[in-house]
Structure 1
Amino acid sequence: MMTKLSVLAPLAALACAAVSSAACAQTPATNPMPDGSRDMYVGIGIVSSARYQGAASTERSALPVLQVQLSNGLFVSGMRAGIHLGRTPQVEFGPLLEWQPRRDAAGEGDELGGVGDMRFSLVAMPLAAYSDNRLAGMPVIHGRLQGGGFLNYYLTPDWRLTSSLLYGAGNARNGMKLELGVQRLALSLGAHHRLALDAGVSFASRRYNSAFFGVSESDSLLSGLPVFDAGGGLKDARIGARWNWAWSPSWMLTSSVQATRLLGSARLSPLVERPTNLTVSTAIAYRF
């Protein structure tokens, strides 16, 4: 029986949200569960990640963990939810929803919208003149629900190709991102230890990159940054690993590390301080 595994989700995205699957979220494979049954993990840990995509500074925060699998194919894995529609062990596919976290001058936060929106007015000197924070003076990107789908193909029981396409990012709700990857699943390191490896790339539309990496003329006036017209195409490449240590059938310590490097137009943005970011997390999870 195939190990339960995640639909492809970069740890950089997982680390910036209220409920994250970076630690052990493992989306169910297509193997059917008994009717009316469920499988659920909850836990808490800590994550260290870049303050926002391309930031030089890092921040550490609490990492809630949530994963739910129902026998009808519904699943929740951190910030993602979807339905498995595939009926063969080799192919997984279905609709997918994901919450895009809010980004303001403090970076990418775990709020689902709410208070604290920055209010701007014309001033004699750009806000960036008072701060080394490159997000100072840039507009808030509000949290958004994105929709799309996923498709995974098993080359062998231990290797699979993964993909997901999501639309609706940015304040205009029109940004699109495609993620492609390959995973080595559940490499055994003994009776209680499992290691999973992941590598991949993501592509973003022009509107997506404009929202997260572009600097308009009005943004330039308030932030002091040069105007930058971000184009679409290859956005980043990533490589990561996840280690699970099962203490018992119910308790698990799960840790992960992922390096992500911005590429293409995103790499050239004046918002980017460091193109390569590292995300590290560890958490304790309980299985119901």
Structure 2
Amino acid sequence: MKRSGRIVGLTLLIVMLATMFSFGAETFRITNTEPKNGAENTTKDNMCVKVFFNKPVGNDRSKAANKDAFRITNESGKEFPTRIIYSSKNSKYALIIIDTTKVAQTGKGAIQDNTKYTCTISGDFRANDGEKLGKDTKITFKTMNQKVYTIGYTVMMFLMFGGMMVFSTTQMKKKDEEKKDEELIHEKTFNPYKEAKKTGKSVEQVLKEHDAELEKARKKEAKKNRRRGISPEDTEDRRHGNAYRVSRPRPIREAGSTFRTGRKAQYEAKAAEEAAKRAELKATNYGKNPKAKKK
């Protein structure tokens, strides 16, 4: 009885340990792919699929076992020649790429735009320790519609340049209007009779239209000056000529100030010193060649 209990206990211990190790061991699987399954607008140039695993791959034994464990096909099931590249820096990464040396670059046999392709990784794909994936994995992706992309890019460029042209034209028109309004406001004389004769309108109509344009221009100027922080009084002074230009800067003593900077005295002393030097040089004929004596 005692011996039987020991056997039962040992059996239970072995079962528990086996269960623990079976739960602790991680099964071989794919952790990520680029592009992902269902991706769109992928490039057709150098088509490839990056595959990331949770276990190392790419030793000599797994390379030999995995050489035919993947393929890339199009919508109609046509298979393209592929090869796999393993990374020496990341042992859990592999690159499945179409062999462009064996694929036509143009025509029906080439990689097409706006077409679905499927990369299938077999369930027999092995890790370095010999474990298999267990089931097939498919990554489906769709290539970019290059024609639509090109048209969209062209339209975008057209809109951008068109917007720039419209903006430039609007700014030029705005400046012309501002210049015209300024000339209208500051116009000293207006001959309604001459304008009436030129346009064929009556003098009263010409005056009415001129007053309306003048009022509109003044409102625009007032609005612009408010944005710039210019008061109506300053605007009125400038319009009626109450702002003057001076012919020269005036010294503060002319306004009654007694402050002296001393710059004038310094300038006069320096000028006197230079004049004395010039007089001395002139008296000694310094720098002049003596005239040759006549024989």
User: TM-score with structure 2 length normalisation?
Assistant: 0.21
Higher relative contact order (CA 8 A, sep 6+): 1
Larger strand percent: 1
Bigger share in helix: 2
* Structure (1 or 2) with the larger CA radius of gyration: 2
What TM-score do you get using the length of structure 1 for normalisation?
A: 0.21
